[in-house]
Structure 1
Amino acid sequence: MNMTVNNTTSDTTRVMLVGEMQDGTFKAKVMAETDVPYTPYWEHLVEQRMIYLQPDPDQLQAIVKALNERRLTLDQLQDFGGAGGGQSELPV
């Protein structure tokens, strides 16, 4: 099932920060692009990526669930989004 998620727009520049933890789980948070740290955001982090998507809270929860259930990979998620607005169809 696909889910339509808004991409980042130039007037809001909100992004989704996604992190893979050492235990193999994922966390995510929507924040202003300027608030994304250059250092790890979460403790026990293996990797974090900034994705140009603006999911609502329910969509964010569904994305994290799909990552944790391995129905979506971080590499696949990175292929979605954009800074110019519009929408992305995520296979969540």
Structure 2
Amino acid sequence: MGITVNNTRPDTAKVILVGEMMDGSFDARVMAETDVPYTKYWDNELEQRIIYLHPDQEQLASIVAALNEGRLSLDDLQNFGSSDGGTSDLPI
């Protein structure tokens, strides 16, 4: 089973900011690429990464659940997406 998620398009430039927290959990927000902070977004994060996907809220919840349940790694997630539009098929 998988989900098809829109990639970032140049005319909208929405991305996912994904954070791995100190307790091993993950959180994510969809935001404009220009709004991504250069500092920590979450107080208790270990790291944050930008993923060039533009999911709807249901898809974002599925991505975060897959990260938290270990069905998807942050490294694998970063292999998906594009800034040129189109879609990505995530194996979750």
TM tier relative to shorter chain: over 0.9
Which residue is equivalent to 1:9?
9
Post-superposition offset of 1:54: 0.3
Offset from partner CA, 1:6-34 (integer Å, 9 cap, x none)? 00000000000000000000000000000
Distance 2:14 2:63 in 1: 16
Number of residues of Structure 1 aligned to a counterpart in Structure 2: 92
Distance 2:54 2:13 in 1: 9
Post-superposition offset of 1:79: 0.1
| Structure 1, gaps ≥5 residues long | none
Which residue is equivalent to 1:79?
79
Identity percentage over the alignment? 64
Post-superposition offset of 1:66: 0.2
**What TM-score, normalized by structure 2, do the two folds share?**
0.99
1:1-92 equivalences under 5 Å are 1-92=1-92
State the superposition RMSD in angstroms: 0.3
Partner secondary structure for residue 59 of structure 2? helix
**What TM-score, normalized by structure 1, do the two folds share?**
0.99
| Structure 2, gaps ≥5 residues long | none
Give structure 1 regions of 4+ aligned residues with deviation exceeding 6 angstroms. none
Distance 1:47 1:78 in 2: 13
Offset from partner CA, 1:19-66 (integer Å, 9 cap, x none)? 000000000000000000000000110010000000000000000000
Distance 1:67 1:91 in 2: 12
